[in-house]
Amino acid sequence: MQKAVLILRALVSLFGIALIVLGALFWANRALTLIPLHMLLGVLFVLCLWGLVALGFYARLRAPLPLIVLIWSLIVPALGVEQVRLLAGPHRLLIQWVHLLVGLIAMGIGHGLARRISGAWRAVRYPGSSPSAHSSR
Ligand code: HEM
């Protein structure tokens, strides 16, 4: 369980950074031929979030975080596939910022969920230990 969380968390970071780097290139009107790669990485990114959501439910997290991540992970690709069409509209810059912000928030809540799962898992394995004894990482 811990290993799966660790791997998914690392992949969320890895794909997230690659998406931002590619996005920055697109923003500068460069490497536009790599848009399909960006979209593929976006799908993989979302699949990793779903993996964390599944582990969150499996770990029986009480908080609504897994549900929030699930809903957000549906918004990311929905917005992504509409991106090209939306960019052609009048609010190009706003759409670009919203797309980036939605992606960054997805990364943030994905990491938050991973931390919560690890914490819950540790609490099951070491029931006597106080939550403060563990860092939030
Ligand atoms: C399934 C998920 C995703 C899809 C389908 C997708 C798709 C796209 C598309 C089609 C573009 C427009 C390229 C252009 O014509 O200029 C774009 C741009 C961009 N993407 Fe994504 N994307 C996804 C996820 C993400 C995520 C998670 C991030 C950040 C963590 C991100 C960051 C960016 C940035 C910074 C740009 C350039 C600015 C912009 O056009 O909004 N994308 N993306």
Domain boundaries, the chain: 2-133
Report residue 28: phi and psi, to 5°: -85, 15
Q: What is the pLDDT of residues 29-66, one digit of tens each?
A: 999 999 999 999 999 999 999 999 999 999 999 779 99
| pLDDT over threshold 50, residue 135 | no
Task: Output the residue whose Cα is nearest ligand 1's atom 18.
Answer: 23
Q: How far apart are CA 37 and CA 112, in angstroms?
A: 26
| pLDDT over threshold 70, residue 125 | yes
**pLDDT of res. 136:** 41
Q: How far apart are CA 74 and CA 124, in angstroms?
A: 30
| pLDDT over threshold 70, residue 132 | no
Q: Is the CB of 99 under 6 A from ligand 1?
A: yes
Residue 59 Cα to ligand 1 midpoint, Å, equals 31
Question: Which residues make Cβ contacts (< 8 Å) with residue 43, sequence separation at least 6?
Answer: 77
